[in-house]
Chains A and B, each alone.
Chain A
Amino acid sequence: MNMSTLLPAFIVLCPLLVGLAVMATPEHRSLQRRSLNIGGALMTLSLIAMLLSGVVNGLDFETRLPLLPNIDFVLHGDALSLLFVSLSGLLWLFTTIYAIGYFKNSANRSRFFAFFSLCVGATIGLALAGNLVTFLIFYELLTLVTYPLIAHKGNAASIKAARTYLVYTMIGGALLLTGVVWLKVLAGPLDFTSAGLLAELPGLNNSHLQIIFVLLIAGLGVKAALFPLHAWLPISMAAPAPVSALLHAVAVVKAGAFGIVRVVYDIYGVEFASDLGLTVLLAVIAGFTIIYGSVKALSQDDLKRRLAYSTVSQVSYIALGTAIAGPIATIGGLVHLVHQGLMKITLFFCAGNLAETLGVHKISQMNGAGKRMPLTMAAFTIAAFGMIGVPPIAGFVSKWYLGVGALEAQAYWVLGVLAISSLLNASYFLPIIHAIWFKEQDQPWPKEVPKLRLETHWMLLLPPLITAFFVLAVGLFASSAYSPLTWSALIASREYQAIFPNISGIALKYSTGHLWVLILPTLLLFAMAFKTLRAKVIRLIPLAPLPALLAALLVVNEDKVEQSFLLLTSAIWFIAALYAQTYMANDDKRNRFYLFFILTMIGNLGVVLSQEISSFIAFFALMSFSAYPLILHSESDEAKSAATTYIRWVIFSEIVLFLGLVGRTYYAEFGTNELPVVWVSTLLIIGFGVKAGLATLHVWLPKAHPVAPIPASALLSAVMVKVGLLGWIRFLPLGDASINVLAQPMMVLGFTATFLAAIYGALQDNAKTVLAYSTVSQLGIIVASIGFALATPDSWALLLPAIVLFAMHHGFAKASLFFCVGLSSALKPGHKLTPFLWLLVLVPALSLIGLPLSSGALAKAALKDATSSWPLFSTLLVMSAIGTTLLMGRFIELMKEQAILKASSAKPNWRLILPTALSALMCLSYFYTPPFEFKQFQTIVSTLSWSAVWPAFTGLLIIFATKKLRAKLPVPPAGDLLIVYQALARLSAKTWQKIANLNASIAQYIDMTLGHLHLWSLSVSRRLSKQLTLDTPGTVMIVMLAALLYTFLT
């Protein structure tokens, strides 16, 4: 009985023995109990580590005890079981610490901790089970041991919850038992064999196997909370927080999911199961549960019930992963087992903290919790973002692999399910995050514990922080050696053996060029956390983008596009930071502004520098999400509505992008013939289109820019919008001809945006809105040129530098215009500096219109000769100048009015004027910078053509002509198509409401009939039992005698 046979037994025995020992310790000896628990947890972890190292280098661990005739009690440590064992072992340690803190001085703790460790012992046993019978034994033991945990509080609610839990799990257990026995009779000992046991067994009739499969899945589905059998999960939230944390994150719920994985892979084998058509059934149920769980979570106000419903939907991801018969989907399912565990346990820890320290149970009471408990709420936010599937964090990894797996198995509807569920996740987590951080505390905390040195007891605070860290680490270092992802890949490779593809292509590697550029900003970010350093750090912020600027200028970089974008972004960020120093000097909420300012800067620079899809999306998400507080900064009503529209569109773009990039990576890796590339490209276009202000998707732009503070709106329209363009350049397969069907719509959208935005912008009364619309129209041009590139792929080589040039030009010009808006107070007539200031306004405006010798003209010229093969394009290009002049004219009118209005006596503030001057200078001279090395001087001269001048004059003429007409016209609302969308949204909300209360009434009807049935059956049974008291046992005996006589004698 050497080590290899004893180790699994020790691992299972250790928690069970600890449980018994704790049960024996008397209630008052808390120190002994605490040491027992934590000692036990650590011991088990060390044993698991030994097992892990053993299994990795190929050793085989198996404990086999005789149990029943020709069936053994087998504990076998293989890769799959280790995934689950290490998860539960690890989380057990944290939950024990948490529970010790949570049950500081409450009653019968010995009983709690005893059953707690027994429960974990059962889970570990279940994970290590080597055959289906041992699995069944631990599965039922788990039910028994969790019952006292749920009923721990002893009040009516928890007793009722425990009873419902029991009813469900007992029935589940019974079904599972029938299935297992029947299978055992058919197929003999049911040891788990990696490629499926039943596949090779001859002579099994399939209809029996199908019925057995349904029985097994129903039995396991109860614990895995599949749709019809999930009702016990939300109700058993009445249990104390550590219980719902461990049970619903790790032990019970995962046991069900793990069971499904075992049955599908190690008993049936995936191919055999899919031939029998079973995996489709499971996939449909899992899919429906995902949607159902999320929808129900939307309407819950109690925090723990919302988390419970989200568990219901999240666990079905694992089932979905197993159901899609493909290696990559399996990896997705398995890795989600670990990730969901980590994320959900963090969420429950935080919920427990809230309940314990502030007495907050409802989401409506959570306003302003971020201020009171910053660290817990930070952990909550990380985990929540993870659940939504925001890129760098854990949730995204599993969704990514599930997506690719779905494509591999041609199950396209699964992608739909993933998208909808991410949308729903966002819609029930983001309001909470918003309430925590951005709402003020409107009511006193229900039951507040006096504030200690830390926000709450250290034992309550440490576990969520550690698990949150793990959530982040697992996401970021997904492809490292020991991450759960590699481990699940190892499992999947053992499951599939022969047909396992090489998945290095779709692996998530986070690598960016010039990583050193981001070091300074991240350092500043961490420094911000310390109150004392905060003031000094704010002053250092302008230095943050400098390394990036130096990289753009000095470092020789063969990728011209990246260098130019880097130049644009770093320059504008530098100028904006300088500008913000003074602009935000006396703003009370500036700490929050600067925090998110740095975050957005890191995101933006990261996007430009990233070389991998995964790092690109990660920084893209970081940038878009951290821009939200910048927009929300002024807390005014329009700011709030603008911010909400902004975040909704960001979420939409994230999801579409996710789908697009999944498609792109899959087809880049495994050949493109199955699905036309068109679909993928459309998704990418829409995804980046939202950010790049594509025609119908631009509605958030005109609302968001004017509301944000000047430096932010400058950055938004000048730099962040360009990221969309960068995305297109990087990911759209511009070279190949298959997607030219998209060219036509792109061009149409581009030019309509240019002209309509110009007209609509001209009618606006706010200077910044006008500039926003001018951004939309300029972007229209870029969109059109991209469309042109799609139409004529070979022209792409010429077109790329022109587009980049145009983008740079627009960036610098728009930034300086926004900075000028800030100077409006200083533009009063009669001051000696005003002509100079007016000059600062006119230079970018004129270069935008494209007057000769200006950078705009140069860019337009470059565009014209790149698209020379199409004369219509260049004429439209020229026409666009009219629109721009209209907008600029309107802008100048507004600037003049504002100058007169706010003719404040304060002398112009130098520290504002200098950065605007700098940006105006950059606007003129950027094309002499290294990325462009313009040799031929004559190209500048060539801009002197008439075609650059007449549009300006026509524009001026139109302005003066329509001056009076425009005064009379009412000012149209900022976001033009937004009203339409909002109306659409309201309509769908109404129909959804109708459906909701329809099924509510159906549910009510069912309850009523059930109630009647119950009453009726009770009365019948009472009447029956009155007769049945067998007042005539004699006659019954005689009747039996007759029956026996008959059966014997015939």
Chain B
Amino acid sequence: MTSALLYSMAGLALFAIGFFGVVVASHVMRKILALNVMGVGIFMFLIALAKRNPLVVDPLPHALVLTGIVIAVAGTALALNLMVRIHHMDQSSQEQSK
């Protein structure tokens, strides 16, 4: 049970929690958080993958994770922006309706 194996299992666990969260959470923010948690999970699996062989560290997964992180943040930003604009739309429509 090397530490890499432990981490990859943890990564999968995080992925599972994230997926469960996305399916079950009701609020949009929670869904976005869940998606990010899934992302962290996958990245942990990848990084653990890189260290499978204690002697040599495989740099490729690291590059993938780096790109993954940037994409994750981009996706989250867009989702949040849309959420806020929807909320703003509801607010202004409520003001008009009052």
Contact = CB atoms under 8 A, between A and B. Distances in A.
Direct contact of A and B (CB under 8 A): yes
Interface string A1017-1045: 00000000000000000110110000000
B42 to A, nearest CB: 17
B38 to A, nearest CB: 14
Nearest to A1041: B19
Contacts of A1034: 22-24
Nearest to A1037: B23
A96 B23 CA distance: 66
Nearest to B23: A1034
Interface string B12-50: 000000000011100000000000000000000000000
B12 to A, nearest CB: 15
Contacts of B23: 1034-1035, 1037-1038
Contacts of A1038: 23
Contacts of B24: 1034
Nearest to B22: A1034
Contacts of A1035: 23
A103 to B, nearest CB: 53
Nearest to A1032: B23
Nearest to A1035: B23
A1037 B24 CA distance: 12
A895 B20 CA distance: 118
A440 B24 CA distance: 85
A1035 B22 CA distance: 11
Contacts of B22: 1034
Contacts of A1037: 23
B27 to A, nearest CB: 15
A1034 B24 CA distance: 8
Which one of A1034, A1035, A1037, A1038 has the greatest number of beta carbons of chain B within 10 Å? A1034
A996 B23 CA distance: 64
A663 B24 CA distance: 86
A308 B60 CA distance: 78
Interface string A992-1005: 00000000000000
Interface in A306-344: none
A1035 B20 CA distance: 10
A1042 to B, nearest CB: 13
A1000 to B, nearest CB: 58
B16 to A, nearest CB: 12
A1037 B23 CA distance: 9
A285 B23 CA distance: 59
B70 to A, nearest CB: 27
A982 to B, nearest CB: 83
A1035 B24 CA distance: 9
A203 B24 CA distance: 60
Interface in A141-178: none
Nearest to B24: A1034
Nearest to B25: A1034
A1035 B19 CA distance: 12
Interface string B37-80: 00000000000000000000000000000000000000000000
A1034 B25 CA distance: 11
B74 to A, nearest CB: 24
A214 to B, nearest CB: 50
Nearest to A1038: B23
A159 B22 CA distance: 49
A947 B41 CA distance: 135
B18 to A, nearest CB: 13
A487 B7 CA distance: 89
A1038 to B, nearest CB: 7
B19 to A, nearest CB: 9
B57 to A, nearest CB: 33
B1 to A, nearest CB: 26
A1034 B22 CA distance: 9
B96 to A, nearest CB: 28
B20 to A, nearest CB: 10
Nearest to A1033: B23
B22 to A, nearest CB: 8
A1035 to B, nearest CB: 8
A1037 B22 CA distance: 12
A1038 B16 CA distance: 12
A783 to B, nearest CB: 100
A1037 B19 CA distance: 11
Interface string B71-95: 0000000000000000000000000
A269 to B, nearest CB: 63
A277 B23 CA distance: 61
A550 to B, nearest CB: 107
A541 B22 CA distance: 105
A513 B69 CA distance: 109
A1038 B22 CA distance: 12
A732 to B, nearest CB: 95
B35 to A, nearest CB: 13
A473 B22 CA distance: 83
B26 to A, nearest CB: 11
A518 B36 CA distance: 106
A984 B24 CA distance: 83
A192 to B, nearest CB: 60
A705 to B, nearest CB: 95
A780 B27 CA distance: 107
A1034 B21 CA distance: 11
A1038 B20 CA distance: 10
A961 B23 CA distance: 119
A1045 to B, nearest CB: 14
B24 to A, nearest CB: 7
Nearest to A1034: B23
A1034 B23 CA distance: 5
A1038 B23 CA distance: 9
A376 to B, nearest CB: 68
A916 B69 CA distance: 126
B36 to A, nearest CB: 18
A410 B22 CA distance: 78
Interface string A407-419: 0000000000000
A831 B24 CA distance: 127
A1034 B34 CA distance: 14
A661 B22 CA distance: 88
A897 B92 CA distance: 113
Interface string A444-472: 00000000000000000000000000000
Interface string A52-87: 000000000000000000000000000000000000
A512 to B, nearest CB: 95
A665 to B, nearest CB: 85
A531 to B, nearest CB: 84
A1044 to B, nearest CB: 15
B62 to A, nearest CB: 30
6 contacts: A1034-B22, A1034-B23, A1034-B24, A1035-B23, A1037-B23, A1038-B23
- Kindly list the 5 A-B residue pairs having the minimum CB-CB distance in the complex, ordered from nearest: A1034-B23, A1038-B23, A1034-B24, A1035-B23, A1034-B22
